[in-house]
């Protein structure tokens, strides 16, 4: 069975040495009393829950999967999942970063971020049951009425009820303007919803007593397209005025998808047959509420791949140290053995370091995004809230697409380290690869994220927000530009930062002439932007490590961080050159291809 050790030391490094989160948090009244010891204590216990409760269920959950009783539409999760969820609720984990007004513990979002990374490493399929609830909670907390919040949020915060997002339909994926689910107004102010949804993660299960579905549907007089979509609360069991559960609602699971991975999570086909729902927000403005959940989910999906990257790396590293095959090209290293451990071979090290660099870079980015969201919600300075929201909007598609693309690369590389054994189920590596593949697809495919980044977040405001991130890079370059020890980290990001302006302008100019140029360049563009972001964080991590070493700190952690930074800039960051060349090739070779694709 795969192993997993929670990366608490690196999490502490990112939070307290790289980002100095306690200073920012304590400037906010809601977190005035927070301290590093509290954060560390919570995450240490969270790591135990992940490694001791969830990890043992990952392989068995994948093998068993979920089952449905077609006569009752009831779904049963794999053995042990329900019991693990009960321990999760008993430990108060659902309430970690939720509003105390609704029973939450009010801890910072970054604590929840790190806790969920560990759970995703241990068991992504299980973690998706409570994970989607946080997005539904956020949407209702922002857009729900006082009555809706009072009815639903305390039970969702406690974990007694879970939540889902019901968007996709059989004939439409990301293009939600094509949806057909109908909502008919009733005399009592409720609505009757009829339609079909597919690919609904955790859409039906037995781990909690009620499921609160957030459903997109159309009112009878709705305008066409995305501007005619409304958002509704549709519970599995109707809720009585006193908060107790009432009759079974007309929403049920019509079937389960047979998937490549995440077998332990119930990906449901949902049927709405006159289901009772209540409107969230204004009619035909449903995407406002759903975007709160979708953006939370996009960060959450990036976190899923971060978790898988970390656990795949840990297992591949352990295997590479133990497995002996052939001799080192530079001469035997384990002379007392018939062959050397494969970790002596350069390309094995390249695969391991790729996973390590992508894991630690992704952790820095996602923790930074958590702090941006915290500032957007809780900073006392309105300008700080505004700028944090803008920067988070820019980084969200990168956090989703770049981290998940890298997760696929990393888990595949880690499987390769195992050779033929990686392809065999008993080692667990092939499950990490299968589970990671969905993360590039859902919550908006990575191409959709790329179009969002380039078309909306960059060209949509003439690069204004991108320039704000550029200022962070510029400040680091100005601070360390004359430091010879930092040159190998500073020079690459300084050059790319300058290139990004010209690169973006070129694509924007082409797009004015032919909009397909955006579609042709977007995926390459996002990876270039992703490397600029990772490069910035890796340069800062190298800066911290160098300062600690210079101060006489002999902890090998800092040497390891420095070595990983050097690998990232030498072997991964140079991908940007080929990506920019590919993007500049334009759309002609793609669109003038009718004969090739006939």
Q: Which residues are catalytic?
A: 443
Bridge partners, residue 253, by sequence: 270
* Contacts of 434 by beta carbon, 8 Å cutoff, 6+ apart: 260, 261, 262
For residue 380, the tally of other CB atoms under 10 A from its CB is 11
Do 92 and 34 form a contact (C-beta atoms < 8 A)? Answer: no
Alpha-helical segments (H) within 379-418:
382-417
Query: What length is written for the chain?
Result: 598
Q: Which residues contact 588 (CB under 8 A, 6 or more apart)?
A: none
Give the count of alpha carbons within 13 A of 288, CB side only: 14
DSSP state of 218: B
Torsion of CA 325, 331, 335, 341, to 10 degrees: -30
Strands (E), 249-395: 251-256, 267-280
Measured torsion, CA atoms of residues 379, 384, 386, 388, in degrees rounded to the nearest 10 = -90
Q: How far is CA 213 from CA 5, 35, 231, 288, in A?
A: 34, 36, 10, 16
Fill in the DSSP letter of residue 185.
Answer: E
Helices (H), 144-175: 146-158
Helices 516-550, 487-513: axis angle to 10 degrees equals: 170
Stated as kind and residue range, the H or E segment containing 264 is: none
Q: How far apart are CA 52 and CA 57, in angstroms?
A: 9
What whole-number distance in Å separates Cα of residue 442 and Cα of residue 165?
12
Apex CA 303: angle with CA 301 and CA 306, to 5°?
Answer: 120
Contacts of 439 (CB under 8 A, 6+ apart): 301, 302, 304, 305, 308, 404, 407, 408
Residues 6 or more apart whose Cβ sits within 8 Å of residue 484: none
- Over its C-alpha atoms, the chain yields an Rg (Å, rounded) of 24
How does DSSP classify residue 172? Answer: B
């Amino acid at each position: 069975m795969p192993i997993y050790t929670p990366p608490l030391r690196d999490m502490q490094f990112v939070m307290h040495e790289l980002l100095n989160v306690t200073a920012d948090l304590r400037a906010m009244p809601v977190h005035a009393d927070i301290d590093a010891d509290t954060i560390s204590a919570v995450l240490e216990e969270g790591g135990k829950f992940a490694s001791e409760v969830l990890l043992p269920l990952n392989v068995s959950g994948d093998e068993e999967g979920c089952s449905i009783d077609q006569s009752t539409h009831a779904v049963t999760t794999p053995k042990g999942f329900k019991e693990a969820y009960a321990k999760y609720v008993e430990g108060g984990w659902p309430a970690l970063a939720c509003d105390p007004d609704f029973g939450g513990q009010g801890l910072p979002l970054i604590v929840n971020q790190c806790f969920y990374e560990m759970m995703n490493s241990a068991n992504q399929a299980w973690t998706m049951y409570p994970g989607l609830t946080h997005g539904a909670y956020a949407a209702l907390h922002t857009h729900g009425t006082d009555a809706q919040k009072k009815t639903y949020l305390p039970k969702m915060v406690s974990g007694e009820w879970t939540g889902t997002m019901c968007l996709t339909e059989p004939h439409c994926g990301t293009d939600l303007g094509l949806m057909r689910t109908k909502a008919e107004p009733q005399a009592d102010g409720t609505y009757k919803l009829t339609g079909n949804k597919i690919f609904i993660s955790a859409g039906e299960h037995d781990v909690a007593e009620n499921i609160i579905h957030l459903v997109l549907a159309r009112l009878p007089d709705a305008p066409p397209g995305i501007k005619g979509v409304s958002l509704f609360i549709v519970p599995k069991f109707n809720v009585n005025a006193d908060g107790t559960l009432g009759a079974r609602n007309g929403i049920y699971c019509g079937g389960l998808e047979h998937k490549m991975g995440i077998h332990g999570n119930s990906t449901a086909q949902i049927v709405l047959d006159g289901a009772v729902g209540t409107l969230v927000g204004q009619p035909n403005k449903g995407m406002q509420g759903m975007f709160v959940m979708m953006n939370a989910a996009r960060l959450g999906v990036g976190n899923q791949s971060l978790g898988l990257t970390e656990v795949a790396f840990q297992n591949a590293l352990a295997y590479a140290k133990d497995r002996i095959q052939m001799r080192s090209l530079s001469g035997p290293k384990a002379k007392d053995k018939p062959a050397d451990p494969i970790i002596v071979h350069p390309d094995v090290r390249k695969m391991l370091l790729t996973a390590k660099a992508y894991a630690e870079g992704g952790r820095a980015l996602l923790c930074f995004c958590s702090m941006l969201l915290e500032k957007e919600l809780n900073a006392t300075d309105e300008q700080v809230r505004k700028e944090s929201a803008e920067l988070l909007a820019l980084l969200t598609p990168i956090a989703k697409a770049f981290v998940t693309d890298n997760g696929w690369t990393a888990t595949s590389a880690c499987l390769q380290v195992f050779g033929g054994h990686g392809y065999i189920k008993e080692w667990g590596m092939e499950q990490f690869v299968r589970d990671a593949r969905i993360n590039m697809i859902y919550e908006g495919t990575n191409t959709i994220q790329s179009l969002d980044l380039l078309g909306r977040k960059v060209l949509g405001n003439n690069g204004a927000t991108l320039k704000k991130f550029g200022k962070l890079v510029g400040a680091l370059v100005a601070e360390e530009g004359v430091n010879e020890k930092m040159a190998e980290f500073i020079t690459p990001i300084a050059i790319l930062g300058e290139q990004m302006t010209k690169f973006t302008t070129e694509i924007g100019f082409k797009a004015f002439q032919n909009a397909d140029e955006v579609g042709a360049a977007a995926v390459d563009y996002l990876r270039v932007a992703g490397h600029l972001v990772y490069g910035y964080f890796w340069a800062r991590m190298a800066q911290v490590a160098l300062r600690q070493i210079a101060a006489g700190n002999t902890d090998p952690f800092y040497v390891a961080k420095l070595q990983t930074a050097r690998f990232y800039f030498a072997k991964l960051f140079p991908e940007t050159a080929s990506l920019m060349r590919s993007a500049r090739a334009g759309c002609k070779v793609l669109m003038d291809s009718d004969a090739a694709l006939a």
